[in-house]
Structure 1
Amino acid sequence: MSTLESFESSGTRSWISGDYFARILEQYFGTEVVVVSFSIEDGSPEGQNFMNSIIRARITYCRRDNDEWSTTSLILKTGLSNPELARNVQYVLRIEKDIYGPIMREIDDLLAGSGDFCSFGPRLIYEDQDALVLEDLALKGYSQPDRKARLDMNHCVLLIKKIAKFHAATAVLGRKKRELFHLHMGSGFLDPTNAIRLYYMNCIAECILLTETVPDLTYYRDFLCDFAKTMTERECSTFSREDEEFNVLNHGDLWQNNALWRYDPQGFVQDVLLIDYQECFFGSPGVDLNHFLYSSANNDVQRNGFGELIEIYVNELQVTLKMLNYDLKVPTLNTIQQEMIKKRDHAVIVTTCIVPALIMERPELATPENMLDDSDQARRARRETFTNPKFVEILKILLPQLADVNG
């Protein structure tokens, strides 16, 4: 656990105080609150958060209209403590405030008007220039499964249905209230100064080294080398938009770590909610579908389950669009399959650059510094990350699919 003193002494979290939490709870409850005590800790595992800092605050308080002490937990999303990296991602909090605020309200109202009260993420509790404060979904029983195992078919079906409904609602709103998405018509990747570009290049270079040492991957060396030469242009094309085609608000970072799950007493998965809406992009649904399937489905699903999952997605999408009176032609299975092919370059990025950190044995190695620097320590950390036998096995499954120009 991180203590309050450690945050204050660093000078990066000096605004965190009992008075700060009292102000948050007073706005939320609409009555005066006295904070008795609080503690703070890291809200996400080391090496799994590149874009901002996550803090879990546990607060003991007393409301003016109730003399009993109560406890609660909140999630604070703040800027990165590293000043240089923080400057590179200043847009993140602004994007998420827009999603959790006005956009989620519009989505909720649209669906509720048809009798659907589906939830897509945590409630926004409070916001200011320092942080975005969200409900802690752990209080409702939501958690994450083992990240290294990745997701089985039951988990994938729940998520694919949830994102289909989200896509449908935002497609309808894109027709009715296009201005709602004005902050999400581009991507942070399009910024030439975005450090993620260097991160991707370093990751692809590591994968090329693998093709030189793993016989089963040798065939794909030229494919990855050609991809690396034009990586920036090809990934930028991911965020191009054809306005005459079917467009939705993509989550933009749809992988296992950005989903929380609720289970019944027998351990069967019941629901999923999404977090970290910081890379949302209005464009082809092929972005989210490739991102999720190539990053987070387990080996069995990646070998045999993609076709079934896309059919489930299309069915849920069509049902929801019709329920919401979408005023254009409803996409077919072929439409969505073609969108995934158009955005296949993003699947290459996901496979080579995101998956290694997801399944690594020592997640503490996946720091921004280790993925970006050229020091001996950073290169050793990347080598350990990419030579993971589990990752090599994934490349053996996915590279044949990605390199198949006819698939």
Structure 2
Amino acid sequence: MPETLTHKAPAWLTEENVEKKLRVYFKDESLHVEQLEIKPAIGNGENYASVMTRINVEYTTKDSQVAEFATFLVKTTLADKDPASDLFSEYGIYTREMDMYKQILPHLADLVKEDIGESRKMFAGTVDVDRARNSIIFEDLSLEKYKVACRLKKLDLEHTHLVLEKLARFHASGAALAERQPGIFDKNYDRGFFNKHTRRYEHIMTSLLKALSRSLELNQDLKKRYQAKIDSLINRLMDYGERSATVNPGDFATLTHGDLWTSNVMFQYDGKGHPTNAIFIDFQFSVWNSPFIDLHYFFSTSIQEDLRLHHQPALVQFYYNNLVEALKKLRFSGHIPSLFEFQQQFRAKAFYAAFASLVFAPTMVYTGKEEASVEQIISTSEQGLRFKDSLYQSEYMQKFLLSTLPFLDQFGLLDEM
């Protein structure tokens, strides 16, 4: 995978500014940055909403005998002139993620540790939140040998169970926090990919569905069976998406991750290669919603085909058992649905799986040579059309569609609902 960034690192990321932030973080005014190395932190196609930069810092203090070294990750917004910047600002994702790291995640980590009894790390430690520059600096978890699993190979059952276990605790602690601090999620936690405030994502989503329709020309059987359905779905996508992301009376709701897929989970392993912990990163789209938007999104984008196509009810049950156990330890007093009710609610939100599978999943497995960016998706230029077509016409996606379209169609998710 090419290690090239679509966007450059921010100009303010200088030795002087990094030094100021590290003095606060380490609580040592004598700290002096001797050398700062800046590198891209992600490759092409791995992130469309922000700039991720890795900084290697060599520094000294009055107490240090020799220079010390540290590595951090810096997450910043897209440049103001980037067409995607205005789009994402309307969804409030930058201020929300800063709020998450500054205000919410520390509370959740305490609840998980003290009430649930989970000693393993839940999130990356926060070094600095700079609202003026719309930036967050985190600890670099690669130093603790955390790493992201392959987004093309997807997650096996062992990895999937670990993610669901941690997700259940994340959701349970979010529900408990809302109960203990009423109103904490009232502001800026209501704008996910589908919401009642803005439809700015509509052009992106429908442009991708149109590219999907064009790709069906490569397979006459798929074209005959599904092209008319996809073409009709283009006009209904936002309505159905908003319906699937609406919390109905009686639904269990909590703080969701909102963008839970392979590259937003990092794993730590034992000496035999078995995953021992999973932590979540990237909370730009965290919203108060049904946990099923996380489950459908995760299942549709991140787990191996056999699990996705044949084992989802069992995976929901595994998640549910962990959720109930965590809620009881947190002394949650709200309504906890039965497993039967839970499975019904999961199925009622299933259009979210159609959206995730057909619209976003292709961008997540992209490995082509075209520039991967929101601007390319929005663009109607020849280059933009070529990029969108390449998302769906790859050998990987053509194989994915062979199983995914019939899977969704059997539940009526491609028909008028």
TM-score by length of 2: 0.90
1:197 aligns with 2:202: yes
| Contact residue 291 and residue 350 of structure 1 kept, 8 A | yes
Q: What is the SS of the residue equivalent to 1:134?
A: strand
Match of 2:83 in 1: 84
Matches within 5 A, 1:33-112: 33-81=31-79, 82-90=81-89, 91-112=92-113
Q: What is the SS of the residue equivalent to 2:160?
A: helix
| Contact residue 249 and residue 283 of structure 1 kept, 8 A | yes
Per-residue deviation, residues 193-232 of structure 1 (Å, max 9, x unmatched):
62x3211111111222233442342322333233211112
1:149 aligns with 2:146: no
| Contact residue 153 and residue 305 of structure 1 kept, 8 A | no
Matches within 5 A, 1:238-317: 238-242=244-248, 244-317=250-323
| Contact residue 245 and residue 352 of structure 2 kept, 8 A | no
Q: Tell me the CA shift for residue 379 of structure 1.
A: 1.1
Match of 1:225 in 2: 231
- Distance in 2 (alpha carbons) for counterparts of 1:353 and 1:232: 12
- Distance in 2 (alpha carbons) for counterparts of 1:347 and 1:283: 15
Match of 1:29 in 2: 26
Matches within 5 A, 1:103-182: 103-114=104-115, 115-128=117-130, 129-130=132-133, 131-182=135-186
Q: Tell me the CA shift for residue 304 of structure 1.
A: 2.4
- Distance in 2 (alpha carbons) for counterparts of 1:165 and 1:223: 38
| Contact residue 61 and residue 71 of structure 1 kept, 8 A | yes
65-74 or 279-288: bigger deviation: 65-74
| Contact residue 318 and residue 331 of structure 1 kept, 8 A | no
TM-score by length of 1: 0.92
Q: Tell me the CA shift for residue 92 of structure 1.
A: 2.2
The partner residue of 1:18 within 15, 19, 32 is 15
Matches within 5 A, 1:386-397: 386-397=392-403
| Contact residue 93 and residue 132 of structure 1 kept, 8 A | no
Identity %: 23
| Contact residue 355 and residue 391 of structure 1 kept, 8 A | no
| Contact residue 40 and residue 55 of structure 1 kept, 8 A | yes
The change in CA–CA distance for 1:337 and 1:31 in structure 2 (over 3 A counts) is: same
Q: Tell me the CA shift for residue 70 of structure 1.
A: 0.7
Q: What is the SS of the residue equivalent to 1:149?
A: coil
- Distance in 2 (alpha carbons) for counterparts of 1:406 and 1:93: 36
Q: What is the SS of the residue equivalent to 2:185?
A: helix
Q: Tell me the CA shift for residue 248 of structure 1.
A: 1.1
- Distance in 2 (alpha carbons) for counterparts of 1:332 and 1:216: 41
The change in CA–CA distance for 1:112 and 1:152 in structure 2 (over 3 A counts) is: closer
- Distance in 2 (alpha carbons) for counterparts of 1:363 and 1:173: 44
Per-residue deviation, residues 238-284 of structure 1 (Å, max 9, x unmatched):
33223542101110001111111112222222211111100011111
1:185 aligns with 2:187: no
Matches within 5 A, 1:211-222: 211-217=216-222, 218-222=224-228
Q: What is the SS of the residue equivalent to 2:212?
A: helix
The change in CA–CA distance for 1:80 and 1:143 in structure 2 (over 3 A counts) is: same
Q: Tell me the CA shift for residue 94 of structure 1.
A: 0.8
370-379 or 234-243: bigger deviation: 234-243
The change in CA–CA distance for 1:367 and 1:406 in structure 2 (over 3 A counts) is: closer
Opposite residue 86 of structure 1, the aligned amino acid is S
Q: Tell me the CA shift for residue 118 of structure 1.
A: 4.1
| Contact residue 314 and residue 332 of structure 1 kept, 8 A | no
Per-residue deviation, residues 320-346 of structure 1 (Å, max 9, x unmatched):
111111112323222222222222222
106-115 or 277-286: bigger deviation: 106-115
| Contact residue 35 and residue 62 of structure 1 kept, 8 A | yes
368-377 or 397-406: bigger deviation: 397-406
- Distance in 2 (alpha carbons) for counterparts of 1:2 and 1:370: 16
Q: What is the SS of the residue equivalent to 2:36?
A: strand
| Contact residue 160 and residue 313 of structure 1 kept, 8 A | yes
The partner residue of 1:382 within 385, 388, 391 is 388
The change in CA–CA distance for 1:364 and 1:155 in structure 2 (over 3 A counts) is: farther
Q: What is the SS of the residue equivalent to 1:178?
A: coil
Match of 2:406 in 1: 400
Q: Tell me the CA shift for residue 188 of structure 1.
A: 5.7
Q: Tell me the CA shift for residue 179 of structure 1.
A: 1.5
- Distance in 1 (alpha carbons) for counterparts of 2:339 and 2:369: 37
- Distance in 2 (alpha carbons) for counterparts of 1:219 and 1:76: 46
Match of 1:362 in 2: 368
Q: What is the SS of the residue equivalent to 1:187?
A: coil
The change in CA–CA distance for 1:2 and 1:29 in structure 2 (over 3 A counts) is: farther
- Distance in 2 (alpha carbons) for counterparts of 1:64 and 1:223: 68
| Contact residue 368 and residue 390 of structure 2 kept, 8 A | no
More helix by share: 1
Q: CA RMSD in A?
A: 2.2
Per-residue deviation, residues 1-56 of structure 1 (Å, max 9, x unmatched):
899xx95xxxx723221111111111111112100001111111122211111111
Match of 1:323 in 2: 329
259-268 or 83-92: bigger deviation: 83-92
Q: Tell me the CA shift for residue 289 of structure 1.
A: 0.3
Unaligned regions of 5+ residues in structure 2, if any? none
